[in-house]
Structure 1
Amino acid sequence: HPIVAGMLGVAFPPFCIVLGSLGLVCVTFVSTWCQYWRGGFALDGSAGTFNWHPVLMVTAMVVLYGAVPWAGLLGCCWVLGWAGGARRALPASAPLEFSQWVVGFSTFLLPWAPTWLRVVYKPLHVFFGSTILVLALASCVSGINEKLFFSLKNQTMEYQLLPPEAVFANTLGLLLILFVLLVLAALARPSWKRPDADSPDSCQ
């Protein structure tokens, strides 16, 4: 995609700033949607309590997981705590996210893991991390679409005639897709990857 390709042409620090800003925009959009169109938030078991679910899904399992894995794990616990009746993709992605964090922590941060194990597991770690992020994205986008489907009665009309909520929520979905595309593209960029322990670059 031209936008993604252009973003990857910048240096790593500015890219992180842009990615973080885009993530903040995504969180702001989903919070505004739930507050303005879906009746706001509550902690009393009413419909407002469930509005925490999309906010925490987007915040924890897409934005934070895509940018800061350990924060994504913390947010995952919030999601499970606030939304016991989670959507169908959450039971799959949440345990996978937890397992990814535990195995990654044990392999890359604890001193007893041998170097050969880290080298072998690193591509798998990236693959499963990317897969989990895509699953979380699919859950969020399908959840937004499902909410609009039942709330707006799925009336067929030209796009310019759609109610403001539909346009706003569709924009949120596009922003989430762009965020995940940037994360995946950054993971695939060789110059931004951390060198292996036995690589000459790691000694510089």
Structure 2
Amino acid sequence: MEGYGVFLGLLGSAVSVGFLSVLFALVWVLRYREGLGWDGAAAKFNWHPVLILTGFVFVQGIAIIVYRLPWTWKCSKFLMKLIHAGLNMIALILAIISLVAVFDFHNAKKIRNMYSLHSWIGLTAVILYAVQLVLGFAVFLLPFAPPSLRATIMPIHVYSGLLIFGTVIATALMGITEKLIFALGPTGYSSSPEEALFVNTLGLLILVFGAIVLWMATRPHWKRPAEQNSKLLQRNGRTLDGNEEGSAMTDYSNADKLDVECSGEAAARKRNAKLDEAGQRSTM
């Protein structure tokens, strides 16, 4: 892999910052808010930011870059698809539970639902994410879709996944700001109390995590090699190190040429055998 050290540094940073974001969310609701509960009170609402940051931000981010991990390149593509789909399913389940928590809290407190831009974009992101997951499962995991359809859908699938992830990051930032303003009031928030500074730091962590994941996911030299290259390298007992992706293509081309040459020699031997047989018959 080109830039292997940089990749490992960014991967470690992404995991660390993502985990720290989840930890900050827990500290926020446990120290500054009413904690966690499932009784319809404010503690139930607090599951919303915690689960969104855990699933819809952190787990979804890991699901996006899981294909980039070079030590998984020897694994079958189907196995990696299952891992990718499983992580996305976990993210969706946590997002749905978080929506149940916030809707139940609003209904219990007689608060109107779906009135803010945060709620509009957030619910849209969840719906699009569910559609993305279902279509991805049907096209890329089930064996019924023809290769031409998969090739057509793949760029759309990748783009929409990154778009949804970026939308989730923006929605999370809007959400924590909205919660702070409601909890502290405009005057209290503008005075920069300890809670406001803590949650603003959380927002910066979310932004940094999203930026790292998007950068790693859009670098072409960190893309998983084509399946045929991986299989060829496994047969040769080699790993994709340094710039071997390009050499793998050369090796594969040479293998194709060798197959052609061998098949040509076999055909020539078959023709010579027929001529010898015909000559023996004419002699007899």
Confirm or deny a common fold (TM above 0.5). Answer: yes
Matched-pair contact (CA < 8 Å) for 2:10–2:212: no
Residue-pair matches, total: 194
CA distance in 1, matches of 2:163, 2:8: 25
TM-score, normalised on structure 2?
Answer: 0.62
CA distance in 1, matches of 2:90, 2:221: 25
CA distance in 2, matches of 1:148, 1:102: 35
Query: What letter is aligned with 1:24?
Result: F
CA distance in 2, matches of 1:175, 1:139: 14
CA distance in 1, matches of 2:179, 2:95: 21
In structure 2, runs of 5+ residues without a counterpart are 64-87, 107-113, 234-284
Task: Report the CA distance shift for 1:202/1:156 in structure 2 as closer, same or farther (over 3 A).
Answer: farther
CA deviation map 1:34-71 (0-9, x unaligned):
11111111111111110111111111111111112232
Matched-pair contact (CA < 8 Å) for 2:61–2:165: yes
TM-score, normalised on structure 1?
Answer: 0.84
Name which of structure 1's ranges 172-181 and 89-98 shifts more when overlaid on structure 2: 89-98
Task: State the shift of 1:124 in Å.
Answer: 1.0
CA distance in 1, matches of 2:46, 2:189: 27
Matched-pair contact (CA < 8 Å) for 2:181–2:189: no
Matched-pair contact (CA < 8 Å) for 1:137–1:176: yes
For residue 155 of structure 1, give the secondary structure of its aligned residue in structure 2. Answer: helix
Which protein shows a greater Rg?
Answer: 2
Matched-pair contact (CA < 8 Å) for 1:90–1:139: yes
For residue 145 of structure 2, give the secondary structure of its aligned residue in structure 1. Answer: coil
Aligned to 2:18, which of 10, 23, 28? 23
Task: Report the CA distance shift for 1:71/1:156 in structure 2 as closer, same or farther (over 3 A).
Answer: closer
Query: Corresponding residue for 2:150?
Result: 118
Matched-pair contact (CA < 8 Å) for 2:189–2:196: no
Query: Corresponding residue for 2:95?
Result: 76
Task: Report the CA distance shift for 1:148/1:29 in structure 2 as closer, same or farther (over 3 A).
Answer: same
CA distance in 2, matches of 1:88, 1:157: 24
Superposed CA RMSD: 2.4
Matched-pair contact (CA < 8 Å) for 2:166–2:210: yes
CA distance in 2, matches of 1:103, 1:194: 22
Aligned to 1:150, which of 182, 205, 211? 182
Report whether the alignment pairs 1:91 with 2:86.
no
